[in-house]
DNA sequence: CGCAGTTGATTTCATTTACAACGACTCCCC
DNA sequence: GGGGAGTCGTTGTAAATGAAATCAACTGCG
């Protein structure tokens, strides 16, 4: 139905399939699904959870707010992801001695073990993706996304940078 | 906190900010938000709704299934978007004379009017996005996304191609 | 014909998500 | 040192989402 006759321009010359924002949305979705599947199967983690784990693992000790900045998730999502990670014993949450409102997140020993598995898997999946493109295409994609991000951010106001998954 | 000292590699050399799937997700989100805002303000349409409208407007008469294929939305989303468009008088739904199970969607006069405004807005927003990149970067982005899409599709099985918004 | 299997579309339900309000606390200026 | 303004993190609530169940109608084969 899609692959048969029609594939050129319609009466108004508008073709959704060739529309970049649409392609971007689909690509992002497919990649997210791929990640979600892998992380769910191998570690029982959702994407917000592994992002928190990755960032805390990298920096050692972080406040939920900082985690939010590094992962581009809002504080609600961080809070909930952190809560389930704490419940599972992968993260420890303690009060911030410097600020009674704040909390500090760090890996437990168990969390550290998981983290050691999580990062390689991320790299592996990324490598799998990269394998579909030439090296030049891959770097071009990277650069274009960076520029696009900055540009859109400039347009809509820098405020609510956010990632859905 | 993000823009200060830290920006190189962590102890494990993993930097979420430089991780392509992450960038892809954020870019897609920002762009989607931009679209959602514009379409909501100017036409009171959600993204699924304008996609349906765009596709039906282009092809004239379509079944919900076909709409789903063209827009990469699952049938539930199409069904709901179509229902609200019908309720608003932008779309008409009639039984398919060839197949009692099927329905046919087409624009009403009012829907046609809206469609005439919707497509230029899409083009305008796309142009705004493109303005942030050089022409070469833009085409590279397009090509890379196409390849990435095909590649991921090949990996995870061709089945549930889907767009979130 | 009759019935088993399949497909088109909608509906239902459990889960996920965003948005808003909240309590606890800090900051700062009077 | 007291009080308004702002921030940190959590919780509650309402909307959006996808998976599976449902219903109707077509197809094919005995």
Is 80 exceeded by the pLDDT of residue B157?
A: no
Q: Residues A104-133: pLDDT tens digits?
A: 999 999 999 999 999 999 999 999 999 999
CA of B61 to C1' of C9 (A): 17
Where do the domains of chain A lie? Answer: 19-156
Nucleotides of C under 7 A from a protein CB: 7-12, 16-20, 23-27
Question: Closest nucleotide (CA of A162 to C1')?
Answer: C18
Query: A55 vs chain B: nearest CA distance in angstroms?
Result: 7
* Domain A19-156 belongs in CATH node 1.10.1740.10: no
Cβ pair B29:A28 closer than 8 A: yes
- Distance (Å, whole) CA A122 – CA B14: 9
Which chain A residues contact residue B28 at CB under 8 A?
Answer: 24-25, 27-29, 164
Element (H, E) at B148: helix B135-156
Cβ atoms of B72 and B153 within 8 Å: the answer is no
Pinpoint the alpha helices (H) of B44-74.
Answer: 47-59, 64-71
Q: Residues B8-28: pLDDT tens digits?
A: 455 566 788 889 999 999 999
Is 90 exceeded by the pLDDT of residue A4?
A: no
Query: A51 vs chain B: nearest CA distance in angstroms?
Result: 8
Cβ pair A133:B147 closer than 8 A: yes
Architecture of domain B20-156: Orthogonal Bundle (1.10)
CA of B3 to C1' of D1 (A): 37
């Amino acid at each position: 139905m899609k692959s048969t006759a029609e594939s050129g321009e319609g009466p108004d010359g508008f073709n959704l399939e060739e529309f970049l924002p649409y392609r971007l949305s689909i690509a992002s979705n497919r990649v997210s699904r791929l990640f979600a599947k892998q992380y769910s199967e191998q570690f029982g983690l959702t994407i917000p959870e592994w992002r928190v784990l990755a960032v805390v693992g990298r920096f050692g000790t972080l406040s939920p707010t900082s985690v939010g900045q590094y992962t581009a998730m809002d504080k609600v999502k961080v809070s909930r992801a952190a809560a389930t990670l704490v419940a599972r014993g992968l993260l420890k949450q303690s009060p911030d001695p410097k600020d009674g409102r704040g909390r500090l997140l760090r890996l437990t020993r168990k969390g550290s073990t998981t983290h050691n598995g999580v990062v390689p898997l991320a790299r592996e999946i990324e490598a799998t993706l990269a394998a579909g493109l030439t090296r030049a295409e891959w770097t071009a994609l990277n650069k274009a996304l960076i520029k696009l991000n900055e540009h859109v951010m400039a347009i809509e106001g820098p405020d609510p940078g956010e990632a859905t998954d």
